[in-house]
Structure 1
Amino acid sequence: MGAIFSRPSQWIVLEDDCYDVGHTWSASCTYSSLELFTIVFLQAAKIYLPLYIFGDIVRRKSLKFFLTRTIWYVLRSSIFLGINGGGFVTFICLLRKLFGRFYFLSAGYLPGLCSSLCAILTERKSRRGNLSTYVATIALETLYRLMKHRGYVQPLPYGEVMLFCFGSAVLFHSYKSKAAASSLTDFLIGILFKPKIPHKFRKALPGRPGIVHDVLMFIANTTLVSLWSFGLGYAMQTVLNALQLGMRIIKNPAARIKQVLTKPYNRHFSSFVASFAASFKIINALLRLLSVPRDVRLYLSGFFAGLSMLFIRSNAMSLYVFVKALEILYFRGVRAGWLWSHYYGDVVIYSISTAMLFHSALFEAHNLRLSYWRFIDRVTGQRLRDLNYDIIDEYQTDSSQLLHIIEAQEQQERRQQMQRENRTRGGERTTS
């Protein structure tokens, strides 16, 4: 667990009160917990509402479904996240009163474990699997950063590409075998290959039906899939860019919309999605011509399609696909009788992983993915910064200095963002 057992000095105990260390903004334990719950609940509602609405639109749900189901789902998910945040403070206070002092684990990991356990049990069972996969991905990345920071491991060149290749091989084989671990896998892969040339187009081709017609149809279908995937990737990334800007897009809509549409990463991501879908179709067709066995063909096609990750080199996406592939293989092992399964396995994975992220955010924030730190900072109303890091530094983890590193990174990114916006405004004035 990285920071948890790294140095003997971390077995030091603190006699300070929970007010002095944790909820420094209020002397009341109850008020602090309820206040943080409310802050996180409201922030979560702002996040979940557009996501659920977007999902309803994609799945073409009715207005009745939105009024009877979606609103309740948003409230339940917001309560789940609120308990995760407010419960962290609650269990810091409870464990301090129970033990009579602060121990290293009771200051961060155990409160995170208890609050995460209570929170995930309030969420729908259908969402627990995806949530546990998501936080397990971030926890694995954080654990890798912790180990790299201590010199235990060395970076592997193109390691994220290899992870993605392995994951995409399993995902494609699972999808084509109709054995996906979740409907999410079916949806994400299936939507890439949704467009198809109508069969009547084949009849319109000149000459007799034969291999030439088959080749032309394959080229047409592959081209259509490539264009569709490119446009889909561009649209997805544009929507994500707009969501990141939030209400700021209203202040200067023309410049903001241009910024959203012209980000270089849009093209990189679109190229990745297009090449990912097209390369699978092409390699799969070539291997079919060579009479390669079906299972081997699907694994190889998925693996080499994964090389499209070279366009974006995303650690987060590679790890997520890798963890999803492990999940699929695990359930295959369960169905085959090789592995055992537990009804609350996703609860355990979520609780352990989230507790590690809470602990890292408290003691080694610089090893967290910056985007995830921002997420925690945003949903908690920056209350994490109000913790008394001067006292926490007695554990000799340099928590206050590490927090300053995170803040410096944020300031640098803000300066770079302002410079990009100034260049955009300068270009508009020159054009006018």
Structure 2
Amino acid sequence: MAVCSKLISPVYTTCQEYVHPWTPSCYTASAGLLLHSLQASFRLYVTIYTLALLMKGHKPTTRDIRRTIHGILQSTAFIVCHAVGFSLLACLMRNVFGHYNFFTFTFLPTFVSSWFAILVERPSRRSLLSLYVTNIASETLYYMLVWRKVLKPIPFADILIFTSSMSCLSYLYRSQCRSSDSIYSLISFIVGPYEQLNHTPDSPESESTSKKYSKRIKLTEIRSERSCSSKNKDSSSLTYRAMMFYYKMIQKFQNFLKSFARCQYCSHPDGCLHYWLQGGTKVFAIGYGLQLCLRILMHIKKITRKPILLFAALKSPDTFSLGAFLGGFSFLYRFISCMMRRSLKKDVQSIAIPAGFLAGFSFCFYRSNTIALYVMWKSLQILYLVGRDHNVIPEVPHASIFFHCLSTAILFQAAIFEPQNLRSSYWNFLHNMSGGRVGAIDRKCLDIYGLESSKMVEMIKARHKKS
């Protein structure tokens, strides 16, 4: 009761002392925040939407350009409503109630402003935004409890979360529940479409896929023979014979892999060994390429000055981490699934549970709280939707909007009261969107709650300057 009374007890400080110590006018403070958040968010979403438009791989039509411009403006307004809404409502609540308390400082103004802001955004993006902020908010709540010594740090918690969540998602993927969800496209890309129960060895899709693959091999052989014969005119016969010998050896090895360890219970057209290696190496190459491109873009200035750094990036262990994670997951998932089918002598949905769980240990190569929490919340979201569709769980109206507002309010509350428990990337985001105003808010009046808010924000700002 003493704690509750302290949380709701009035704190008689002005909004100028707390929200905008740089100016006495609430409207001037909100107008300045509006202008800066408008510029920063507009630059951010111009980059995001332009990249999304270019990644479609075709010449943008007039309709695509219009939709891109509309999306940029709408998402920019979404961020601006968050920033300006918090500033105005924090001042308004102080003027209406005559004081602040633990909840009216940040939580309630952010919750209300988030509700209006999410309604500005497109309905198709609301669920994605809700999942994103819920991801960060759950991690922040965990750090807040650890900092208060309510919980002890759990070693390897991210690995346990990822493996258990992937076993759940893999099971749902095989059962074709909510097959339109984007997460299933990602799982299909990593483990392959043959891990779904609708793919049988005699299915037309499998036959057409194998026929296309065999035709592609024949075309490759014909082209290589033509190229080799054309090169033979300008090269010695010994070189030509060596090239043909190595080519035939490679073809024989590929054919051996495709025919080795075939299983009548598996739906993939080639042998199991080729199936495992093909999936692992393909996804590994893609992950390695993505990580390499990202490292080059992040250090482009240093690489242009010292090109030798490019070779260091090529062989850096960090460059291999994403590829090892994705390739390892694909290989292990396919390997375990095939072994389970062989031992059970049938293909059942439940084999996805051990396959997803054990393959999830490849996460050790690329540990990330963001990825672990994303798959956890995604699995919970899909389970809720499945339960709702089967009338097992009642439908919660506007659930995504509520979770977005609640999570955003928790994040803003942490940014103001205890920024040391907030993810550094999210603090940098708030700092950039507000033009540094989130760090300029005077937190001395908040020290009565015993969270050392003014001391912690100075520590965070010093760390931000060094980075």
Specify the TM-score bucket, using the shorter chain as the normaliser. 0.7 to 0.9
Cross-structure match for 1:253 = 304
Distance 1:135 1:61, change over 3 A: farther
In our comparison, the structure showing a higher alpha carbon Rg is 2
Q: Using the TM superposition, give the Cα deviation of residue 84 of structure 1 relative to its aligned residue in structure 2, in angstroms.
A: 1.0
- Indicate which of 266, 281, 285 corresponds to 1:231: 285
State how far apart, in whole Å, the 2-side matches of 1:193 and 1:58 are. 23
Distance 1:397 1:181, change over 3 A: farther
Give yes or no for contact 2:130–2:403 (8 Å, CA) kept in 1: yes
Cross-structure match for 1:267 = 320
- Indicate which of 350, 371, 383 corresponds to 1:329: 383
State how far apart, in whole Å, the 1-side matches of 2:125 and 2:286 are. 25
Indicate whether 1:54 and 2:51 are aligned: yes
State how far apart, in whole Å, the 1-side matches of 2:123 and 2:427 are. 26
Code of the aligned partner of 2:350: V
Code of the aligned partner of 1:253: T
Give yes or no for contact 1:9–1:396 (8 Å, CA) kept in 2: no
Cross-structure match for 2:361 = 307
Give yes or no for contact 2:276–2:331 (8 Å, CA) kept in 1: yes
Distance 1:123 1:293, change over 3 A: same
Give yes or no for contact 1:181–1:331 (8 Å, CA) kept in 2: no
State how far apart, in whole Å, the 2-side matches of 1:15 and 1:411 are. 33
Give yes or no for contact 1:175–1:185 (8 Å, CA) kept in 2: no
Distance 1:171 1:242, change over 3 A: farther
> 169-178 or 363-372, which moves further after superposition?
169-178
1:379-409 deviations in Å (ceiling 9; x for gaps): 2211111101223324432111111232344
Distance 1:381 1:67, change over 3 A: same
Distance 1:110 1:240, change over 3 A: farther
Distance 1:6 1:379, change over 3 A: farther
Cross-structure match for 1:94 = 92
- Indicate which of 289, 292, 305 corresponds to 2:342: 289
Q: Could you say what secondary structure the match of 2:120 adopts?
A: coil
Distance 1:263 1:72, change over 3 A: farther
> 160-169 or 34-43, which moves further after superposition?
34-43
Cross-structure match for 2:111 = 113
Runs of at least 5 residues in structure 2 that lack an aligned partner in the other structure:
194-208, 219-250, 264-268
> 176-185 or 321-330, which moves further after superposition?
176-185
State how far apart, in whole Å, the 2-side matches of 1:323 and 1:390 are. 36
- Indicate which of 363, 366, 375 corresponds to 2:417: 363
Give yes or no for contact 1:12–1:395 (8 Å, CA) kept in 2: no
Give yes or no for contact 2:261–2:273 (8 Å, CA) kept in 1: no
State how far apart, in whole Å, the 1-side matches of 2:119 and 2:322 are. 35
Code of the aligned partner of 2:401: V
Name the % identity: 28
Distance 1:47 1:298, change over 3 A: same
State how far apart, in whole Å, the 2-side matches of 1:400 and 1:163 are. 34
Q: Using the TM superposition, give the Cα deviation of residue 175 of structure 1 relative to its aligned residue in structure 2, in angstroms.
A: 2.7
Cross-structure match for 1:279 = 332
Distance 1:53 1:24, change over 3 A: same
1:23-61 deviations in Å (ceiling 9; x for gaps): 223332223223223322322233223333333344446
> 326-335 or 284-293, which moves further after superposition?
284-293
Cross-structure match for 1:77 = 75
State how far apart, in whole Å, the 2-side matches of 1:61 and 1:174 are. 33
Indicate whether 1:169 and 2:178 are aligned: no
Cross-structure match for 1:28 = 25
State how far apart, in whole Å, the 2-side matches of 1:235 and 1:224 are. 17
- Indicate which of 392, 397, 407 corresponds to 1:338: 392
Q: Using the TM superposition, give the Cα deviation of residue 273 of structure 1 relative to its aligned residue in structure 2, in angstroms.
A: 1.2
Cross-structure match for 1:186 = 184
Give yes or no for contact 2:296–2:303 (8 Å, CA) kept in 1: no
Q: Using the TM superposition, give the Cα deviation of residue 127 of structure 1 relative to its aligned residue in structure 2, in angstroms.
A: 0.8
> 96-105 or 231-240, which moves further after superposition?
231-240
Distance 1:310 1:97, change over 3 A: same
Give yes or no for contact 1:137–1:320 (8 Å, CA) kept in 2: yes
Q: Using the TM superposition, give the Cα deviation of residue 323 of structure 1 relative to its aligned residue in structure 2, in angstroms.
A: 0.8
State how far apart, in whole Å, the 1-side matches of 2:330 and 2:384 are. 25
Q: Could you say what secondary structure the match of 2:99 adopts?
A: coil
Q: Using the TM superposition, give the Cα deviation of residue 377 of structure 1 relative to its aligned residue in structure 2, in angstroms.
A: 1.3
> 345-354 or 170-179, which moves further after superposition?
170-179
Q: Using the TM superposition, give the Cα deviation of residue 307 of structure 1 relative to its aligned residue in structure 2, in angstroms.
A: 0.9
Question: What TM-score, normalized to structure 2?
Answer: 0.78
> 388-397 or 373-382, which moves further after superposition?
388-397
Indicate whether 1:40 and 2:37 are aligned: yes
State how far apart, in whole Å, the 1-side matches of 2:305 and 2:281 are. 27
State how far apart, in whole Å, the 2-side matches of 1:88 and 1:31 are. 14
Code of the aligned partner of 2:304: P
Cross-structure match for 1:352 = 406
Q: Could you say what secondary structure the match of 2:104 adopts?
A: helix
Give yes or no for contact 2:260–2:272 (8 Å, CA) kept in 1: no
Distance 1:384 1:239, change over 3 A: farther
Indicate whether 1:375 and 2:373 are aligned: no
State how far apart, in whole Å, the 2-side matches of 1:140 and 1:17 are. 32
Runs of at least 5 residues in structure 1 that lack an aligned partner in the other structure:
415-432
Q: Give the root-mean-square deviation of aligned CA atoms.
A: 3.0
Q: Using the TM superposition, give the Cα deviation of residue 216 of structure 1 relative to its aligned residue in structure 2, in angstroms.
A: 6.2
Q: Give the number of equivalent residue pairs.
A: 405
Distance 1:150 1:78, change over 3 A: same
State how far apart, in whole Å, the 1-side matches of 2:118 and 2:293 are. 28
Cross-structure match for 1:407 = 461
Give yes or no for contact 1:135–1:350 (8 Å, CA) kept in 2: yes
Cross-structure match for 2:240 = none
Q: Could you say what secondary structure the match of 1:63 adopts?
A: coil
Q: Using the TM superposition, give the Cα deviation of residue 255 of structure 1 relative to its aligned residue in structure 2, in angstroms.
A: 4.6
Q: Using the TM superposition, give the Cα deviation of residue 73 of structure 1 relative to its aligned residue in structure 2, in angstroms.
A: 1.0
Q: Using the TM superposition, give the Cα deviation of residue 22 of structure 1 relative to its aligned residue in structure 2, in angstroms.
A: 0.4
Question: What TM-score, normalized to structure 1?
Answer: 0.84
Give yes or no for contact 1:192–1:228 (8 Å, CA) kept in 2: no
